[in-house]
Structure 1
Amino acid sequence: MGLCTSKPNSSNSDQTPARNSPLPASESVKPSSSSVNGEDQCVTTTNNEGKKSPFFPFYSPSPAHYFFSKKTPARSPATNSTNSTPKRFFKRPFPPPSPAKHIRAVLARRHGSVKPNSSAIPEGSEAEGGGVGLDKSFGFSKSFASKYELGDEVGRGHFGYTCAAKFKKGDNKGQQVAVKVIPKAKMTTAIAIEDVRREVKILRALSGHNNLPHFYDAYEDHDNVYIVMELCEGGELLDRILSRGGKYTEEDAKTVMIQILNVVAFCHLQGVVHRDLKPENFLFTSKEDTSQLKAIDFGLSDYVRPGKALRLYAICKLRFQNLETSICLYALTIAFADERLNDIVGSAYYVAPEVLHRSYSTEADIWSVGVIVYILLCGSRPFWARTESGIFRAVLKADPSFDDPPWPLLSSEARDFVKRLLNKDPRKRLTAAQALSHPWIKDSNDAKVPMDILVFKLMRAYLRSSSLRKAALRALSKTLTVDELFYLREQFALLEPSKNGTISLENIKSALMKMATDAMKDSRIPEFLGQLSALQYRRMDFEEFCAAALSVHQLEALDRWEQHARCAYELFEKEGNRPIMIDELASELGLGPSVPVHAVLHDWLRHTDGKLSFLGFVKLLHGVSSRTIKAH
C-alpha cells in the first residue's frame, strides 16, 4: 500500500551496469491501486479487458543493487541512489526468448499508452477513453475530511500517494495514521476501479493479523479514494538490510522469515495471493530492532478459488458422457484444484517462473519469499541480467548460485531451505507452513506451524483416489523421516483429533472456522467441506492422515526421493502387491472405455508375474491425470 517513505524515481536504462556503477532507483510501474511509493513499483499485464496507466517505466532493479559495494552510501530522499550492483555471469548462454517477450506491448495496451501501429487490435475496454462513463462511486464513507487531518506526503507512486494524517476527534484524537490517496482521475478503466474495490475488500477481510497493518476504513469524495491504515514508522525491510551492510546473520534472517512466512501462510489459508512480495513491501512498526514486521501493498493481490474444477467437471460430464465420473473428476481436481491466475504482475527479480507462463496460484508468493531470503543471507540477487527480458530468461532457465561466498560458510539447512523455496516447479515448492516446519526454522522460539491449505487439497485428492493408490500412498508415508513427520504431526494436531486420535469432517470444519475471515468464508469453506464429504461418515487416524496429506511432488524434489520410493515399493510388495490384469487396473483407476488403457498402462505391470512394477508404482503415487492420458 506504499505506506513507506518515498524514494525518488529515476529513468529506466537497459545498459549493462558495471560492478560499481550507479543504477536508477526504479524502473517499474504499478496499477492504480497498488502503490504510492516511488520505488515500490511492479509490472502488470493481463489478458483481461482494460488499460491502467499512461506510461510504463517497467521493472525495477532488485534492492541487492546496493549490496556489494564495499561501503553502502546513505540514501538521501533528495538524490538518486548511487549504490552499485553485482554483475552476475552465467555459466551457459541464455536460452531462447521467454514467453514474456511481449510484455511491453501488452503492458502498454493495458495502461492505455498504445502508440500508432504498436497494437493492431485493442482488447475489450481498451478502447475506452479516459474513463468516460465509468461508475467511480465505491459506496465508501464520505466523512474523511471531518474525521482526519491530512499531513505531509510520505510516499508517491504512479497512481497515488501516501500521507501521514491524524484523528481530529474521538478516543483516538491526535493518533497518527497513514492514508493512501488514490485520485479517481487515474482510474481510467473498469479494471482500475475493480482493483481498488478488491484491495479494500482484502484489507478489510484480513485485518487483525499481527503481521498486517491495522485497517481503519476506506473513504471517498468526488476526487479521491482514501485508505486509512496503521502508520508503520520503522522503515522498510530494505532499509534494515542496507543498514546491516547488505545481509543478515542466519539467526536474524530466521526472525525475519518467521514473520514473513506467518503472514503469507495466513493469506494463503484465506485464499489470497499477494503477488508482489519484496523487501520494500515489508515495514517495521518502529525503529527498534525487535519491532514487528508488517506486509503492505495489497494492490495487486487477488483471490484464488477452488470452484473452477467443479465447473469444468460439470461441463465435461455434459459433453463427454462416455467418460466415467471418477477419472473425469479426479483429473480435473488435480489439474484445476485452484483457479489459476494469468496476470503477469509483480517485480522482475521476484517474479516466479509460472507467472511468466501465465498460470499460477499461491505458490508464486513462495518463490518471491525465496528470493527475499536469498538476498537476506548473501546480499545478492539469485537472478540477474542486463535487461528485463534477460531477467525473465534467467528466472525461467538459470539456477541460483550457491557456490560463491558466503554460501559455503552458511549451514546446509539454510541452503536447503532456500533451494526448496526456489524450485522452478511450483508443485515441488514448499508452502509457507511447510517452510516454518523446515529444520532451519522450526526450532526457533517464535516458529509456530500454522494451518496449511495444501493439507486439504491433498486430502481431497486422496479421498477420491482408488484403493490401490491409497495403499501405495500408505506405503510411502511409512518411509517418512522424523523431520518430514514433524509437519504432518503439527497439522494433525491443529485439527484437534478426538481422544482416540482420529479426525472427522467436523474436526476440519471446526478448525477452518476458527481461522476463517470473510475472505475464506466467501471463497473456500463451502467448496472444501463439500469436497471432503467422504469423511462425514467415517474417521481418519494419524497413519492414514500421513498418507492423505503427503505431497509426492515435494518428496520428489528431495535428493533421497529414490530411497523413499524404493523403500515404499518394498513395503507395497510385502503388504499386498498381487497379480492384476490391465483391464482390472483400468477399472481400479476409474478409466472409462474411451481411454486407451493398454497404451496408458502397458508399462505399469511386470510381464513376468502381472504385478505392479516399480515404474507403475511411482506413476500410481502421482495418479492418473489428464496429462497421462494426453501423452498417449
Structure 2
Amino acid sequence: MGCICATVPRKNQIRPMKTRNKDLVFTSTEDISKIYVLGKVLGVGSFGKVIAAKMRSNPMKQYAIKIIEKKKVKGREDILANEIFILQKLDHPNIIKFHEVYQNRMNFYICMDYCKGGELVEWIPKRYKNFHERNIKEIMKKIISAVAYIHGQGIVHRDIKAENIMIANKKDDAEPKLIDFGLANKFDTSKLRRLKSFVGTPMYMAPEVIQGKYDEKCDIWSLGVLLFTLLSGHMPFHGESKEELYDNIQRANITFTYNAWKNVSDDAKDIVRRMLQKNPNLRPSAITLLKQEWFTKLEVFEEKQTLDHQISQKGQASPSNSNSDNRSIYQMLKQTAQKGGSKFRKEVMTILVKQLNEQELSNLIEKFKQIDVDNSGTITIFELRQALIAEGSPASIDEIERLVENISPKNALDVKKRSRPSVELKYSEFLASCIDERKFLTREKLWSLFKFFDTDNSNYITKDDIKEAFARNAKSFTDEQIEEMIYEIDPNHDNKISFDEFCQMFDNAGIYQKLDDDDEVIET
C-alpha cells in the first residue's frame, strides 16, 4: 500500500502573511508559470502591473493577474495582506472575484476575474449612443447592492469611483464589478470608534474623511458623486487646488444647473441630494438607498418587460439561451442533498464555479438575484422559502433548513443559535450547489479540475497537493482536516487520490460511467 510519506515533500509551498489586524492570509510559493500562461499587459500602476492570463488546465477562461513588486511594498506587506484578506471574504455578483494568490522572491501575484468590458467610463460610450437615466439606474442599483453587502460584512471600501467599476464583458447586459480593495478596511459597526486615515480619491472624498473622523457612510458620499457625474457628465465639486476642492466639498452646496439636468427626474435629483448630505448621519445606508422611490418606481414595469421577453424567447434556439436550465429551484437544491457530501467534493465544486465564465453561469446568476429580493448579496431562509412558494415547490421551513445545512454545513449550528433569517446562503455556495452537473462535469472539465491540484503531474493528488491548492486560494486547512477529506473518497486508503477515484466523487452525475466509454485521458 502506498504512503504519502513516500512522496517527495514540497518545499516552502505555503507562506503566511499578516494583516494589520493580525489576521492570517496564506499564499502559495508554487511557480505561477506552471499554473498559468501569462499574457498581455492590461495596465501599469505605481506598485506593479496587471496582465491577462489563462490557466493551463482550463484555457477557456481568462484571468487578470495583479503583479506587485515586493521591493515597492517592502515594510507595507500588511496592507497588501489586508487587501487579499478582504478580497477572499467577499462573495457577491457585482464584486470582482478573487481566485488565487502566489508569491516568489520578486513579486506577489493576485489572480482575479478578467473584466473584458473595461472600465465603466470606457464602456458607456461603446454601448450607448444615448445613455439614459434608466441605464444609469440599472448600474447604480447593482453597485449599491455590492456596497450594501460589504457594509454588512463590516468593510468600508474608501475609494469608490468610476475608474474602480469594471464591466464583466462586452455584452449589452454585462454586469458591473466593484474592484480595487487596496484601501478597504474594517469599520466599527457599533459606531464607538471611527476611522481616521486620510485616504481616497480627492474628487470623491467625503467631508468627514477630510476632517479625519468617519465610518462606512463615506462610501455613500462617493456613490453620490458617482451618480451625480453619470447623470450630468460633470463632477459636483471643483477647485483650482486640492485645498480649494476640499473646502468646496465641506462647504459648497450641489446645484443642478447644467443643461443635462433638464432631462433628469426629480426622484433621481432627490436621491443625489440624500447621498451628498454633508452630515453623514443624514445620509441613508446602502440598504435604505435600494428602497428609495427612484429604484422601486419602475420595477413592476421592468419585471413585466422581462417576463414578456422571456415568453417571446421561450422555445427559440439561439446562442443566448443555449445555457438554459429548466430545473426548479427545489430540484437544484435537492441535487446536492442527493449527492451526499464529501467535504472535498464541495470544495471542488466551488473551484468548478470559479473556472466557469459568467455566460455559462448566467441562468443561475439570474436565479440568485430573483431570490435575493433585498439585494443583500446573500439568500436568507425566508427569501428561499418565498421563492419556493412562488414556484409551487412543497418544501417546508424544516426541509429548507436541512437543504441549507447540507449546502453550507457551518450554518448547522447557526440554526439553533440564531433566528432563522440569520441563516444565509452565500452567492458562490448557491452557484456550486445548483449547477447542472450533467452539463458541466464533462470528461475534460474533470481532468482540468484534477490538474488544478496535481500541479507536479504525478497523476495523483496528495495531502500536500490539496494543502498547496487551498493556499493558492488563501485558505488553510489542518492536516487532520485534509486527511479526512482524502479518507472519504480514497477506497484503498493509500493516502492519495487517483483520477479514477476523483471521478467517483461525481458518480451520481453520470460522468464516471461516461469515462469508461471514452479513450484514456491523455495529458497535454
TM, length-normalised to structure 2: 0.54
Residues 403 and 175 from structure 1, CA distance in 2 versus in 1: closer, same or farther, beyond 3 angstroms?
A: closer
Residues 240 and 354 from structure 1, CA distance in 2 versus in 1: closer, same or farther, beyond 3 angstroms?
A: same
Which one-letter code corresponds to 1:142 in the other structure?
T
CA distance in 2, matches of 1:428, 1:496: 35
Please point out which of 50, 61, 81 is paired with 1:197.
81
CA distance in 2, matches of 1:247, 1:395: 30
Which one-letter code corresponds to 2:54 in the other structure?
K
Which one-letter code corresponds to 1:149 in the other structure?
V
- Contact 2:63/2:112 (<8 A) preserved: yes
Tell whether 2:32 aligns with 1:148: no
Provide Cα deviations, 1:290-309, integer angstroms capped at 9, x if missing partner: 11111111111111134xxx
CA distance in 2, matches of 1:431, 1:156: 34
- The alpha-carbon deviation at position 451 of structure 1 amounts to 4.7
- Give the 3-state SS of the residue equivalent to 1:175 in structure 2: strand
Which one-letter code corresponds to 1:294 in the other structure?
K
Instruction: Give the length in aligned residue pairs.
Output: 308
Tell whether 2:234 aligns with 1:380: yes
Residues 510 and 160 from structure 1, CA distance in 2 versus in 1: closer, same or farther, beyond 3 angstroms?
A: farther
- Contact 1:138/1:220 (<8 A) preserved: no
Residues 247 and 158 from structure 1, CA distance in 2 versus in 1: closer, same or farther, beyond 3 angstroms?
A: farther
- Give the 3-state SS of the residue equivalent to 2:259 in structure 1: coil
2:487 is matched with which residue? none
Residues 175 and 244 from structure 1, CA distance in 2 versus in 1: closer, same or farther, beyond 3 angstroms?
A: closer
1:116 is matched with which residue? none
Provide Cα deviations, 1:382-416, integer angstroms capped at 9, x if missing partner: 00111111111111111111233222432111110
- Contact 2:217/2:283 (<8 A) preserved: yes
- Contact 2:65/2:112 (<8 A) preserved: yes
Please point out which of 61, 67, 88 is paired with 1:181.
67
Q: Normalized per residue, which structure has more strand?
A: 2
- Contact 1:254/1:441 (<8 A) preserved: yes
- The alpha-carbon deviation at position 493 of structure 1 amounts to 7.2
Within a 5 Å distance, the mapping from 1:484-503 to structure 2 comes to none
- Contact 1:247/1:378 (<8 A) preserved: no
CA distance in 1, matches of 2:77, 2:381: 42
- Give the 3-state SS of the residue equivalent to 1:346 in structure 2: coil
Please point out which of 248, 268, 274 is paired with 2:151.
268
Residues 517 and 356 from structure 1, CA distance in 2 versus in 1: closer, same or farther, beyond 3 angstroms?
A: farther
Residues 173 and 363 from structure 1, CA distance in 2 versus in 1: closer, same or farther, beyond 3 angstroms?
A: same
2:164 is matched with which residue? 281
- Contact 2:92/2:427 (<8 A) preserved: no
1:450 is matched with which residue? 375
- Contact 1:496/1:507 (<8 A) preserved: no
- Give the 3-state SS of the residue equivalent to 1:267 in structure 2: helix
TM, length-normalised to structure 1: 0.45
Residues 452 and 159 from structure 1, CA distance in 2 versus in 1: closer, same or farther, beyond 3 angstroms?
A: closer
Within a 5 Å distance, the mapping from 1:406-417 to structure 2 comes to 406-417=260-271
1:219 is matched with which residue? 102
Tell whether 2:92 aligns with 1:209: yes
Residues 296 and 452 from structure 1, CA distance in 2 versus in 1: closer, same or farther, beyond 3 angstroms?
A: closer
1:435 is matched with which residue? 289
Tell whether 2:511 aligns with 1:511: no
Tell whether 2:147 aligns with 1:256: no
CA distance in 1, matches of 2:214, 2:239: 23
CA distance in 2, matches of 1:220, 1:361: 33
- The alpha-carbon deviation at position 248 of structure 1 amounts to 3.2
- Give the 3-state SS of the residue equivalent to 1:173 in structure 2: strand
Q: Normalized per residue, which structure has more helix?
A: 2
- Give the 3-state SS of the residue equivalent to 1:406 in structure 2: helix
- Give the 3-state SS of the residue equivalent to 1:385 in structure 2: coil
Residues 260 and 452 from structure 1, CA distance in 2 versus in 1: closer, same or farther, beyond 3 angstroms?
A: closer
Residues 301 and 183 from structure 1, CA distance in 2 versus in 1: closer, same or farther, beyond 3 angstroms?
A: same
Residues 415 and 139 from structure 1, CA distance in 2 versus in 1: closer, same or farther, beyond 3 angstroms?
A: closer
Please point out which of 334, 343, 346 is paired with 2:200.
346
- The alpha-carbon deviation at position 516 of structure 1 amounts to 6.9
- Contact 1:246/1:376 (<8 A) preserved: no
- The alpha-carbon deviation at position 246 of structure 1 amounts to 10
Provide Cα deviations, 1:221-264, integer angstroms capped at 9, x if missing partner: 11110000111100111113455799831111111111111111
Residues 174 and 245 from structure 1, CA distance in 2 versus in 1: closer, same or farther, beyond 3 angstroms?
A: closer
- Contact 2:381/2:424 (<8 A) preserved: no
CA distance in 1, matches of 2:104, 2:72: 14
CA distance in 2, matches of 1:432, 1:394: 25
- Give the 3-state SS of the residue equivalent to 1:344 in structure 2: coil
- Contact 2:41/2:50 (<8 A) preserved: yes
Percent identity at matched positions?
A: 32
Provide Cα deviations, 1:543-601, integer angstroms capped at 9, x if missing partner: xxxxxxxxxxxxxxxxxxxxxxxxxxxxxxxxxxxxxxxxxxxxxxxxxxxxxxxxxxx
- The alpha-carbon deviation at position 348 of structure 1 amounts to 0.8
CA distance in 1, matches of 2:384, 2:257: 42
5+ long unaligned stretches in structure 2: 1-19, 304-368, 387-395, 398-414, 429-524
Which one-letter code corresponds to 2:226 in the other structure?
I
- Contact 1:269/1:452 (<8 A) preserved: no
- Give the 3-state SS of the residue equivalent to 1:400 in structure 2: coil
Provide Cα deviations, 1:325-380, integer angstroms capped at 9, x if missing partner: xxxxxxxx6x61xx311111111111111111111111111111101110111111
Please point out which of 265, 286, 301 is paired with 2:184.
301
- Give the 3-state SS of the residue equivalent to 1:163 in structure 2: strand
- Contact 1:417/1:438 (<8 A) preserved: yes
CA distance in 1, matches of 2:113, 2:377: 28
Tell whether 2:42 aligns with 1:159: no
1:405 is matched with which residue? 259
Residues 138 and 304 from structure 1, CA distance in 2 versus in 1: closer, same or farther, beyond 3 angstroms?
A: closer
User: How big is the alpha-carbon RMSD for the aligned residues of Structure 1 and Structure 2?
Assistant: 3.3
CA distance in 1, matches of 2:89, 2:377: 19
Which one-letter code corresponds to 2:244 in the other structure?
G
5+ long unaligned stretches in structure 1: 1-47, 49-136, 307-332, 454-490, 500-504, 519-632
Provide Cα deviations, 1:458-499, integer angstroms capped at 9, x if missing partner: xxxxxxxxxxxxxxxxxxxxxxxxxxxxxxxxx997699999
Residues 507 and 241 from structure 1, CA distance in 2 versus in 1: closer, same or farther, beyond 3 angstroms?
A: farther
- Contact 2:99/2:111 (<8 A) preserved: yes
Within a 5 Å distance, the mapping from 1:582-601 to structure 2 comes to none
Q: Which has the larger radius of gyration?
A: 1
Please point out which of 363, 369, 393 is paired with 2:223.
369
CA distance in 2, matches of 1:377, 1:297: 24
